[in-house]
């Protein structure tokens, strides 16, 4: 058998759905206690075994009467009845009413057998009888309104009568159904069993959350195990999580074989692409049947479907965005179906594409997008695809825009339909794009429902220009240029310079040391305003030395080592990866590192021209330093 397999004939998304539908993962039925029934689906009809209520019940506080005795009663001419007893909820009536009698009664109490109506207490006056030596009555009530038979009485079985159909098979049990079942005295119900779904992440590089990573060895935290298990639970399945396995074929085979013997469906992630290191498909072929490998979907091309020892198997891609996209779109609906749960009602929203996004002909493209409202309240969709390996892609997105295989781009201004990740998704009240800055991050804690895409000053400037961002966070020279704008919401200064290990062992004393000393350096990426501030300083140094910035940059070991976050260079210093990093004084202090100041940088948050009066933008302005 060849060690390398190529994707030749990619199957369509419809074929993937049909293949999944053909897998047998239905787990049968079981009986569960009422307290465990919420969220389950009834497997059989439940009929009422008793009347509810099982007696004629008073619907109001008042007096149980014979309706005929109240004929002609009015405010000016009340009917006088003798109060012969009282009955409260849980009491058995001790008397039967005769003509002219009334029984004081509480809501929920049993109506005496000879009474046929209840007069509300508000329509009566309780009093002692008139002084008369011949009147032996101890208590009378004046009834000021006439009532008809059945007034304020819930007859036995009026809620549901014995023998009636209470709930049918396929009913999703919610608190409402549990209330009805409780009223019927049902303490256990037959339900569809939830499919047991094995969750196995593969890859030598995976480390469970909570354990330390060896970044030098390429280790990453295991994302898929926890995210997919949560998805299985949300879809109505029971996730059975197995310890992640490396790329050793025998270890992988043993784990998958055990999972297949214990579960209704085995889900793995990783090791499904066409690579000599990927062995899952060989395990499937040796122990079962490979039904499908490779789908014309982006992301998610290397999806694998088959059986292992007769148990359904789906191999998801390893990258979290790919794995979760395939799971959400194709696998979760199949789990819901196996659990007999109703299909989710796909929530969609119509929007306008904010920027052009290219696609790839021949494959269904699921473009993750975020939502934002413009100044006129129209909904815009903007791409937030950071790549299949970026776990923040889906958390920064509100849904996906499916793009047909025969479409190679979606243009700015095109109408699109966004499939929301949840019906509860709403656009953020304020969208901020731009410089990664700790002061801004803290300020946003005091703003309701914000979204902050810390993609750098250049990205913020473009996003504001393109009508995507409500506000751009700008640093470096761009912040200086923005100060004259009437749309500045807030501005502040921050010390910037070189972060070095505690004690500054290389005696770094300024920018020239990066060029002249034998030190390694971690820079910020070109999107960062802080990087622009560094480049300006290099221009000044180059002028002093009668050379060019590019020439100086070539002498800096690691100048091209670009990192995204404001802490990233400093953390490389703290980890001993480099000697010097570009950063902020506050970052150095937070990481117990030393700092060589090079200057003062400015950050300015600037609103989009048409968004100044958005409530979320106003909230942001109040939260920022120097804000309104």
| Tens digit of each residue's pLDDT (9 = 90 or more) over 128-155 | 776 665 566 789 999 999 999 999 999 9
Domain assignment of residue 472, yes or no? no
Tokens 């190529």 belong to which residue?
6
Of the residues 393, 420, 447, the one at which a domain ends: 420
One domain for residues 66 and 143:
yes
Last residue of a domain, one of 192, 213, 247: 192
Q: Which helix (H) or strand (E) holds 257?
A: helix 249-262
Mean predicted confidence (pLDDT) in 267-271: 88
**b/e code 456-485 from CB counts within 10 Å (16+ = b):** bbbbbbbbbebbbbbbbbbbbbbbeebeee
Within a domain: residue 329? yes
Tell whether 598 and 583 lie within a shared domain: yes
622: in domain: no
Buried b / exposed e across 435-454, counting CB within 10 Å, b at 16+? Answer: bbbebbeebbeebeebbbbb
CATH code (residue 183)? 3.90.105.10
What pLDDT, in 10s, does the model give residues 160-199? Answer: 999 999 999 999 999 999 999 999 999 999 999 999 999 9
CB contact set of 229 (below 8 Å; sequence gap of 6+): 199, 239, 241
Domain CATH number, residue 548? 3.40.190.10
Measured between alpha carbons, how far is 538 from 230 in angstroms, rounded to an integer? 49
**CA 58 to chain centroid:** 46
**Residue 128: what pLDDT?**
79
Residue 30 pLDDT grade (very low, low, confident, very high; cuts 50, 70, 90):
very high
List the CATH number of the domain containing 373. Answer: 2.40.340.10
> Is the same domain home to 258 and 179?
no
Beta bridge partners of 222: none
Report the distance separating Cα 562 and Cα 524, nearest Å: 5
Work out the pLDDT band at 276, boundaries 50, 70, 90: very low
Q: End-to-end CA distance of the chain, in Å?
A: 70
**At 15, is the secondary structure helix, strand, or coil?**
helix
Domain match, 45 and 64 both: no
Rounded-to-integer distance, Cα 415 and Cα 353, Å? 6
Residue 150: the pLDDT is 96
In a domain, 200, yes or no: yes
CATH no. for residue 230?
3.40.980.10
In terms of Cα–Cα distance, which of 200, 189, 83, 213 is closest to 142? 83
Q: What is the mean pLDDT of residues 368-380?
A: 94
Rounded to an integer, the average pLDDT of 486-507 is 97
Which of the 8 DSSP states describes residue 537? H
Helix ranges (H only) for 13-92 are 13-21
CB 360: neighbour CB atoms within 10 A?
Answer: 14
Residue 464 lies in a domain: no
Look at residue 104 and give its three-state secondary structure: strand
pLDDT band for position 388 (cuts 50, 70, 90): low
**Structurally, how many domains does the chain consist of?**
5
Torsion of CA 348, 352, 358, 364, to 10 degrees: 20
- Asked if residue 302 is part of any domain, the answer here is yes
Question: Mean of the pLDDT values across residues 18-46?
Answer: 96
Residues 239 and 273 in one domain: yes
**Domain residues for 219?**
13-26+195-338
Which tens digits make up the pLDDT trace of 59-103?
Answer: 999 999 999 999 999 999 999 999 999 999 999 999 999 999 999
Q: Do 209 and 286 fall into the same domain? A: yes
Examine the domain organization and report whether 164 and 95 are in the same domain: no
In a domain, 481, yes or no: no
Report if residue 615 sits inside a domain.
no
Residue 244 has pLDDT above 70, yes or no: yes
Whether 263 and 400 map to the same domain: the answer is no
Residue 101 sits in a domain whose CATH number is 2.170.190.11
Residues 47 and 186 in one domain: yes
Residues 223 and 334 occupy one common structural domain: yes
**1 confidence band (pLDDT: 50, 70, 90):** very low
**Residue with the larger pLDDT of the pair 590 and 138:** 590
pTM for this prediction: 0.80
Residues 34 and 74 in one domain: no
Last residue of a domain, one of 305, 338, 371: 338
Q: How many residues would you count in the chain?
A: 628
* Shared-domain flag, residues 107 and 200: no
Tens digit of pLDDT for each residue in 390-412?
Answer: 677 777 899 999 999 888 889 99
Q: What is the mean pLDDT of residues 421-438?
A: 93
């Amino acid at each position: 058998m060849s060690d390398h397999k190529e994707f030749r004939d990619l199957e369509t998304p419809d074929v993937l759905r049909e293949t999944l539908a053909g897998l047998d993962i239905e787990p049968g039925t079981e009986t569960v206690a009422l307290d465990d029934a919420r969220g389950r689906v009834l497997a059989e009809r439940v009929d009422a075994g008793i009347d509810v209520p099982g007696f004629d019940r008073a619907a109001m506080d008042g007096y149980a009467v014979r309706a005929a005795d109240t004929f002609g009663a009015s405010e000016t001419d009340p009917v006088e009845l003798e109060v012969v007893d009282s009955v409260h909820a849980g009491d058995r009536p001790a008397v039967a009413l005769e003509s002219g009698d009334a029984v004081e009664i509480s809501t929920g109490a049993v109506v005496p057998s000879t009474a046929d109506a209840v007069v509300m207490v508000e329509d009566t006056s309780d009093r002692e009888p008139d002084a008369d030596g011949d009147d032996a009555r101890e208590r009378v009530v004046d009834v000021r309104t006439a009532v008809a038979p059945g007034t304020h009485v819930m007859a036995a079985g009026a809620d549901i009568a014995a023998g009636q159909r209470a709930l049918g098979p396929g009913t999703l049990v919610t608190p409402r159904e549990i209330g009805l079942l409780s009223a019927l005295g049902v303490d256990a119900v037959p339900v569809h069993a939830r499919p047991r779904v094995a969750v196995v992440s593969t890859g030598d590089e995976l480390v469970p959350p909570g354990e330390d990573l060896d970044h030098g060895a390429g280790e990453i935290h295991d994302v898929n195990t926890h995210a997919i298990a949560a998805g299985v639970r949300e879809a109505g399945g029971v996730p059975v999580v197995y310890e992640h396995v490396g790329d050793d074929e025998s270890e992988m085979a043993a784990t998958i074989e055990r999972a297949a013997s214990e579960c209704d469906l085995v889900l793995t992630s990783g090791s499904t692409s066409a690579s000599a290191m990927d062995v899952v498909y060989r395990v499937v072929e040796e122990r079962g049947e490979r039904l499908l490998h490779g789908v014309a979907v982006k992301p998610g091309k290397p999806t694998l479907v088959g059986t292992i020892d007769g148990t359904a198997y789906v191999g998801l891609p390893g990258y979290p965005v790919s794995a979760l996209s395939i799971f959400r779109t194709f696998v979760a609906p199949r789990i819901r179906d196996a659990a007999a749960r109703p299909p989710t009602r796909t929530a969609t929203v119509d929007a306008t594409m904010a920027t052009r996004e290219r696609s790839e002909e021949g494959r269904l493209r699921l473009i993750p997008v975020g939502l934002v409202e413009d100044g006129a309240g129209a909904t815009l969709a903007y791409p937030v695809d950071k790549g299949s390996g970026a776990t923040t892609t889906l958390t920064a997105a509100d849904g996906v825009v499916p793009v047909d295989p025969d479409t190679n781009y979606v243009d700015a201004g095109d109408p699109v339909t966004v499939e929301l990740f949840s019906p509860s998704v709403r656009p953020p009240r304020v969208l901020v794009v731009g410089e990664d800055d700790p002061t801004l991050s803290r300020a946003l804690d005091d703003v309701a429902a914000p979204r902050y895409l810390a993609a750098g000053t250049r990205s913020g400037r473009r996003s504001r220009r393109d009508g995507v961002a409500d506000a751009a966070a700008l640093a470096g020279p761009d912040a200086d240029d923005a100060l004259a704008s009437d749309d500045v919401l807030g501005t502040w200064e921050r010390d910037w310079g070189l972060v070095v290990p505690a004690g500054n062992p290389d005696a770094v004393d300024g920018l020239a040391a990066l060029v002249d000393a034998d030190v390694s350096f971690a820079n910020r990426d070109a999107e960062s305003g802080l990087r622009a501030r560094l480049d300006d300083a290099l221009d000044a140094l180059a002028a002093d030395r009668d050379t060019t910035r590019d020439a100086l940059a070539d002498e800096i070991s690691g100048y091209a080592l670009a990192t995204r976050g404001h802490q990233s260079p400093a953390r490389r210093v703290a980890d001993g990866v480099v000697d010097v990093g570009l950063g902020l004084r506050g970052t150095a202090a937070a990481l117990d590192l030393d700092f060589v100041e090079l200057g003062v940088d400015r950050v300015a948050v600037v609103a989009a021209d048409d968004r100044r009066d958005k409530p979320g933008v106003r909230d942001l302005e109040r939260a920022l330093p120097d804000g309104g």
